[in-house]
Structure 1
Amino acid sequence: MNKNQVKGVVKDVAGKVQEEAGKLVGNKEQEAKGLKKQAEGKAEKALGDVKEVAKDAKEALKDAVKKQ
């Protein structure tokens, strides 16, 4: 797991909390901010996922070259 994946998950969870808090007190603005934060978190996690796949592919390529 890389830092983008961690940051993304944290931001997503924080957004969920903010959205629910907004619902609880009837604040539509806080709900919207929470949803926005969740979307940002999911995007950041996806970026981290892509970086992780690229890193794994790079390592696999290095291993394959070493074996030849």
Structure 2
Amino acid sequence: MSENKHRLGVSETNLVVRHLKLAPQNLGQVGDAIKEIDNIYGLDGVSFDEKTQVFVAADRKLTQ
């Protein structure tokens, strides 16, 4: 049986990392945004760096 390192819909082959910059006025809702982003299908994980105000999300690359 294979051991999955990633969430459903994500494979190592198609993994990409995205950096999303927040607008300063939205900082009060970071926790809610993390929860919402983290529930997206195909997303492996999300984190937020308070110093740079950037979300880092790892997800599957969409292919045609």
TM-score range, shorter chain: under 0.3
TM-score, reference length from structure 1: 0.24
TM-score by length of 2: 0.25
* Structure of greater Rg: 1
Which protein has the bigger helix share? Answer: 1
Query: Which has the larger share of strand?
Result: 2
- Which structure exhibits the higher relative contact order, with contacts defined as CA atoms closer than 8 Å and separated by 6 or more residues? 2
